[in-house]
Every structure is written in structure tokens, then in C-alpha cells.
Amino acid sequence: MIELSRFNFTEDILNVIKKCKGVVVPKERAELVSLALGTPNASSFEISYEVNGKLITEANVVRCKNGVAVNYTEDYMRRRDPDCLIVADELPSDKPRFKDVYKKDFSSMREETFNWLSGQELIITTFMAGGKDFGYPAILVSPRNAAFFACGLAGLQYFVNIDDYEGIFTPKAVIFLAPSFRHTHLDGKQIVVHNRTPDIYEMF
């Protein structure tokens, strides 16, 4: 369970956490590896989501000597799309705007993401975006069955064990992970929507 007194979350994050089916805050890498495989002793795990009444397998996770390996079932997902960054806010940017690309305001998809996450079991991963010394507090909010993403993020950024953190953890950035939305909202593409608000930097 999550100890909310250890965090200073925005109202939107709090609402998602309070409504969800359960939440875990990993505190060590071994725990992340176990979560990525579904159960502690599993050697493999399949990640699937229901999309428009059909079950779609996104990726397969396999245990290996130094953690886990992930294979996406779709070739396109096996490398980063260079055109994946979309901006939702009105602050200065030279990147494409969500409203221009998708011909609608981002607010509806933002709320739908919160509603979808509220119906999942979740993982909240705490890290320092940019590294230990010069980074800033951030979190990942992801469905539990996509724990491989949290595991990978913990290796790329500076993973924080919340028990070792001094003071109240106040994220300046948050990643909301909703894998099925690439099928239902984003034409099957890898898209990261950046939404800069006065309180926190949101990425969807």
C-alpha cells in the first residue's frame, strides 16, 4: 500500500490513486523485476490489453541473468519513433501541437487517461529525473502489468527508495502510462504528449 503522507501529490494524481484497484510503490530493483514478470518465480510474462472488445498482446517479458528482456510483438514498437513528441499546452514550443495533429483539445483524452488508470492496479515509481545530484523528483504512474516499463525507467534514471528519501516527496514531473491508448486514441503510434501545467510537468 502507498503511504500518502510521504508524498505531496496533485489532486489529479490523488484521485487516480484513491479510485484505483490497488497500488504498489516498489522500493528495490529486485521487486521491480518480480513485478515485471507478474509473479516472483515466473520466467516469462505476457502483457495484453482489451481494445474495443479484442485482446491485444503488446509485449512479452522474459527473465534473464541481469533482470528482464522485453520483446514487442509489433516491429514498429521495437524502436523509438522520432516523431513521437506532441505538445498539449499553449506554452512556447517548436513541436507539433496536439490540437493541430488530432483536431481536438487534449483535455478529453487527459480525463480519459485518468479514468482508465483509475480502473487498473497501479505501480507508482519514484525517481530523480536527470540523475541523483542534479535531477528533480518525478514519478511514473503505470498499470501493474506494465511493470517492465518501471523496471527500465529505474535503470535509466536515479531510482528512489521512498523509505530512504528525506522529507516529503513532491514530484515536479509525472509520467502517466496508458499503453492501450495508442490503439484507441493515437492511430497505433508511439506518442508522448507533454502537458506543462503551473503545478507539474505531465507526460502521457
Give residue 1's pLDDT: 63
Beta carbons within 8 Å of 137's beta carbon, 6+ residues apart:
126, 128, 129, 160, 169, 170, 171, 172
Rounded Cα distance between 134 and 192, Å, is 24
DSSP assigned state of 169: B
Which SS3 state, helix, strand or coil, does residue 55 take?
A: strand
Cite the DSSP H helix spans in 24-168. 29-36, 98-102, 107-118, 147-156
Do residues 35 and 150 lie in contact, with contact meaning Cβ atoms separated by under 8 Å? Answer: yes
| pLDDT over 90 percentage in the chain | 92
Burial letters for 41-52: b for 16+ Cβ neighbours within 10 Å, e otherwise? eeeebebebeee
- CB atoms < 10 A from the CB of 83, how many? 12
Q: What is the residue extent of each domain of the chain?
A: 4-26+79-203
Do residues 84 and 98 lie in contact, with contact meaning Cβ atoms separated by under 8 Å? Answer: no
Q: What is the pLDDT of residues 9-42, one digit of tens each?
A: 999 999 999 999 999 999 998 999 999 999 888 9
CATH superfamily to which 4-26+79-203 belongs: Phosphoenolpyruvate Carboxykinase, domain 1 (3.40.449.10)
Q: What is the pLDDT of residues 169-201, one digit of tens each?
A: 999 999 999 999 999 999 999 999 999 999 999
Per the prediction, the chain carries an average pLDDT of 95
Q: What is the pLDDT of residues 89-117, one digit of tens each?
A: 999 999 999 999 999 999 999 999 999 99
Nearest alpha carbon to residue 109 among 199, 201, 197, 180: 180
Give residue 7's pLDDT: 97
